[in-house]
Structure 1
Amino acid sequence: MAIISDAHEGLAKLVGVHGGAGALGWKRLGTGNMMSSAVDSYEIAEMPPGTRAGRHVHSRTEELFFVLSGRAVIGLGDEKVEVGPGDAILTGFHGVQSVDAIGDEPYRMLVIEALPPEIEAGLPEHRPSEEEAVA
């Protein structure tokens, strides 16, 4: 089954994410039950320069960002790292994270939220049928 989702249109505007500053654009491209994986969701996010997602704990999912464009300073625990296009950032289960978009262009990233084994084990099992997977 092929799933096509337009990542360029229809981004929702989210203000003050995790107690941060400014408004970012966000869109869910797909969910884990569309595939045979322990992925919770596939998302695209865009943060204009100066936008901040405040410091928060990942208590439900692990999160992988793949930077498509722009620059940001990512807080991971007590560390701060500057990232740009082509970088991948993993925040593990119970990891602490913040994001500050910097520079002159929007910080745009693909976000994959994965379920850790502790969470996945408590959920009902769902896998796409063979017809769904091949369609």
Structure 2
Amino acid sequence: MKKTILFIICLIFGLFFINAGLNKFFNYMPPPPPKDLPEAMQKAGAAFMTIGWLMPLTGIFEIIGGFLFIFGKTRALGAIIILPIMVGIVLTAIYQAPNVLPLALVLAAINVWIIIDNREKYLPMVR
């Protein structure tokens, strides 16, 4: 039962990031109207769009990390790939969009849980 619940959580988490990554290439989810976004977030979005390679690079890492997160053998690597993206999501939620902070914290908790659960796989890197 525990393995099934873990797989479902990791599947949803992985699909969430795959979807976010694919959206950076195909733009199938419309962004919110600018009037609904805080001014700081509008400026940050404009800055990211000015750097043309940043969003596709983030999208590639979200897609790869999401796929790796789904499967048990590669989940530890997927969690590490997604970690810097997750830090950015949480910091953005804290400083610019506090209404999405609960979702960001749940996603961060899942990612940290998987990292802690697979800590023995990371030990050879730090020895």
Provide TM-score, normalisation by structure 2: 0.25
Q: Which has the higher strand share?
A: 1
Provide TM-score, normalisation by structure 1: 0.24
